[in-house]
Amino acid sequence: MGRPKPEVRDEVVHGDRLVTVEREWLCLEDGPPLAVERTVRKGGPTRPPVILVHGFAQNRFTWRISGRSMVAALADAGYEVLSLELRGHGLSRELGSGNATEFTEYIEDLERVVAICDRPPFAIGHSLGGAVVVGAASRVELAGVVPIAGVYTFATRNPTLRALGRLTLAAEPALRASPVRMSTGWAGRLLGRLYSVTDIAGYGFPISGWVPGSIERELLEERLELGFDWTSVEVWIEMSRWANGAPVPGAEAFRGVDVPLLVIVGDADPLVRPADAKNCFEASGSADKQLVVMDAFHHRVHWGHVDLILGKDAPELVWPQIIDWLDRRAK
């Protein structure tokens, strides 16, 4: 039996802007089953593939919700958009892929998606997904890499995350005593229901993900409830080591990679500070690299972790920068 026909639908890009897209699920079965959501403009893509990689404990709703979709914007620009749900997350988990036992397995997941592309793809990663795309850059051929609030060094300016990492490492023997699967869905649902409190009280909080007022209430509630997922305790243990000085896998190899690089970070993001993004930019061996720090002076408002993708100002101020950068390098 052949592959089912793609679903054709009108998707909101932002506001009143709609685009007719074709969407289908691909299942990669040459290893732990991986789900890849493929979206193209109706009639097919005209430009190279763009692989999207979500962050820690997240899923495909990193990139699209009902009232705002970076996926649709990329598809409307002619790109074939491949949204990967890493093993243990989203539909990949439902298909039977277990949790990752170490971070490099996420890099292997991305490599498998690259292998199905008909030409070198671009790779865009958010948060921990930024570390995934950077880690893959020295292992597979990519047309370009875009870490958005991407981890390269971790928690260098966040003592709360470092302390949480130390507590995790102290408890590591107990955590590793039996396989553990961690859900963050409850946290997303709780934050969504407490929105009126968390949107104000969360400003400046050491692990807050957005700047108050940056995302409309109903859209933020949707993002929080749908986008928080199951994930791997083992990977969090590894990240706890990064928070306390251990190198991120692939970071050193990235120094020798000459691949186009666009680094984007928010000025008010406590999870990935501008200094961490600058470390990635400066370490890159690319002759074609750019660092963009989104801030209130140059870009109207302050920017947090989630705002860069789904904030109300992102369609006007962030997405066009990314699409223009891709366009100038697309072959």
Residue range 198-243, pLDDT digits in tens:
554 444 444 668 888 899 988 988 888 899 888 888 999 999 999 9
CATH code, domain with 216? 3.40.50.1820
pLDDT band at 1 (very low <50, low <70, confident <90, very high): very low
pLDDT of residue 5: 84
**CA–CA separation, 167 and 161 (whole Å):** 10
Q: Tell me if 53 is assigned to some domain.
A: yes
Separation of alpha carbons 236 and 182, rounded Å = 10
pLDDT at position 196? 46
Residue 241 and residue 165 in contact, taking contact as beta carbons nearer than 8 Å: yes
> What pLDDT sits at residue 188?
47
Answer whether residue 173 is part of any domain. Answer: yes
| Residue-wise pLDDT tens digits, 37-75 | 999 999 999 999 999 999 999 999 999 999 999 999 999
Helices 104-115 & 128-136, crossing angle to 10 degrees?
A: 60
- Provide mean pLDDT across the span 278-298: 97
- Whether residue 219 is contained in a domain is answered as yes
In a domain? residue 1:
no
* Domain membership flag for residue 2: no
pLDDT score of 221: 83
- Give per-residue pLDDT as tens, 9-19: 999 999 999 99
- Nearest alpha carbon to residue 330 among 120, 136, 129: 120
Q: Which pair of structure tokens corresponds to residue 328?
A: 């100038």
Q: What is the pLDDT of residue 2?
A: 53
Whether pLDDT at 190 is above 60: no
Number of domains in the chain: 1
Per-residue exposure over 35-64, b if at least 16 CB sit within 10 Å of its own CB, e if not: bbbbbbbeeebebbbbbbbbbbbbbbbbbb
Report yes or no: 206 and 130 within 8 Å, Cβ to Cβ: no
Which pLDDT score, from 0 to 100, does residue 174 have?
A: 86
Tell me the residue range of the domain where 244 lies.
Answer: 7-327
Q: Which residue has the tokens 């009639």?
A: 43
Do β-strands 122-126 and 144-148 pair in parallel, antiparallel, or remain unpaired?
Answer: parallel
Q: What is the pLDDT of residue 210?
A: 86
β-pair type (7-14, 17-28): antiparallel
Pick the range with the lowest mean pLDDT from 85-94, 169-178, 290-299, 320-329. Answer: 169-178
User: pLDDT band at 186, cuts 50/70/90?
Assistant: very low
- pTM surpassing 0.85? yes
**Residue 314 forms part of a structural domain:** yes
Question: Is the sign of the CA dihedral 148, 153, 157, 160 positive or negative?
Answer: positive
Q: What tens digit of pLDDT does each residue of 132-147 get? A: 999 999 999 999 999 9
> Is 266 within a domain?
yes
